[in-house]
């Protein structure tokens, strides 16, 4: 069984077990699970979920004997969680690269959507894209750290939640500022120009790769196929307009219709899947 499948399997079983806990135990275990999950960004997800599942199973057995989570695991859950995380197997290099690729891919995708929507020859600044990727990975790592620490802050109160929210927003805004800065400062450095029809070839490779990834990830992500196809069609029409292959205002009006239809199909498909599940 693949590790990714194992992680998903134990996550589903864990969700089912949590519903059987008492409200008091649910609060205790939810904090413990959240702390370990956010702290396990660079750990093996399958093994981490398996540990949490075993802990929930043991707690459920103790609960039947009238034992609370605090009495079973102790009154220092953060220390327990840190010890478990320290002994958990590290994530494999391919898994870490896959996580980084996901973050970088999202940021690059945003940049490419902007690039494809511009007039003239398609321009891709290699230094800008590389630095954007680094900023994104660092930003996500900081967000996970902030969210992990929010579970067992010295004074877990509404005030600490506010500070966690502020810290999260600061990191988020810094990432956006970094993206804007690289776009302004490095836009003319290390530029690769892709004239027609090479820009369409790049678009095709990106769309096929993204659709393949979405379909392999499982049915939960199928609704986003409509969004990818809609954005791809918008990029195709715009690049053909830039190359003067397509002319006339009907294509400009059609782009708005395509976007609305794509978003509508994505939303309807997502809601249908949620009701089905």
pLDDT at 148: 83
pLDDT of 218 strictly over 70: no
* One domain, residues 176 and 217: no
Domain end call among 70, 86, 102: 86
My answer on whether 183 and 99 are in the same domain is yes
The arithmetic mean of pLDDT across residues 24-39, rounded, is 90
Averaged pLDDT for residues 183-192 = 85
Mark whether 111 and 162 lie in a shared domain. Answer: yes
Mean pLDDT of all residues in the chain?
82
Same-domain status, 164 and 248: no
38 and 73 assigned to the same domain: yes
Instruction: Identify the pLDDT of residue 273.
Output: 65
Residues 267 and 235 in one domain: yes
Tally of domains in the chain: 3
Cβ neighbour number for residue 43 with a 10 Å cutoff: 20
Do 227 and 176 belong to one domain?
Answer: no
- Point out the domain boundary residue: 58, 86, 114: 86
Task: Check pLDDT > 60 for residue 52.
Answer: yes
Task: Please tell me the pTM assigned to this model.
Answer: 0.71
Look up the domain containing 246 and give its range. 197-277
Report how far residue 12's alpha carbon sits from residue 269's, in angstroms, rounded to the nearest whole number.
Answer: 22
Pairing mode, strands 122-125 and 191-194 = antiparallel
Q: What is the DSSP string of 15-82?
A: HHHHTTS-HHHHHHHHHHHHHHHHHTTTB-HHHHHHHHHHHHHHHHHHHHTT--HHHHH-S-HHHHHH
Residue 191 in tokens: 């530029």
Question: How confident is the model over 102-147, as pLDDT tens digits?
Answer: 888 888 887 887 788 777 788 888 998 999 999 999 998 898 888 8
pLDDT at residue 4 above 60?
no
């Amino acid at each position: 069984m693949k590790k990714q499948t194992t992680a998903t399997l134990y996550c589903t079983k864990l969700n089912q077990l949590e519903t059987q806990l008492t409200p008091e135990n649910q609060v205790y275990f939810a904090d413990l699970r959240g702390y370990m999950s956010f702290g396990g960004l660079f750990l093996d997800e399958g093994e981490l979920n398996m540990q949490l599942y075993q802990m929930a199973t043991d707690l459920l057995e103790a609960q039947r004997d009238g034992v609370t989570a605090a009495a079973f695991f102790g009154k220092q859950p953060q220390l327990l969680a840190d010890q478990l995380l320290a002994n958990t197997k590290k994530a494999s290099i391919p898994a870490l690269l896959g996580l980084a690729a996901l973050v970088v891919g999202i940021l690059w995708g945003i940049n490419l959507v902007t690039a494809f929507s511009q007039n003239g020859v398609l321009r891709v600044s290699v230094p800008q894209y590389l630095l954007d990727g680094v900023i994104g990975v660092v930003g996500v790592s900081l967000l996970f750290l902030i969210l992990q620490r929010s579970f067992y802050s010295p004074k877990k109160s509404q005030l600490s939640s506010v500070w966690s929210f502020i810290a999260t927003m600061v990191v988020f805004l810094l990432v956006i500022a970094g993206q804007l800065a690289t776009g302004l400062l490095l836009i003319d450095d290390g530029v690769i120009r892709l004239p027609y029809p090479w820009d369409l070839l790049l678009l095709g490779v990106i769309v096929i790769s993204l659709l393949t990834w979405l379909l392999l990830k499982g049915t939960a992500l199928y609704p986003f196929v409509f969004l990818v196809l809609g954005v791809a069609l918008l990029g195709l029409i715009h690049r053909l307009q830039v190359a003067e292959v397509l002319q006339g205002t009907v294509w400009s009006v059609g782009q708005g219709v395509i976007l609305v239809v794509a978003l509508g199909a994505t939303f309807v498909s997502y809601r249908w899947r949620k009701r089905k599940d």
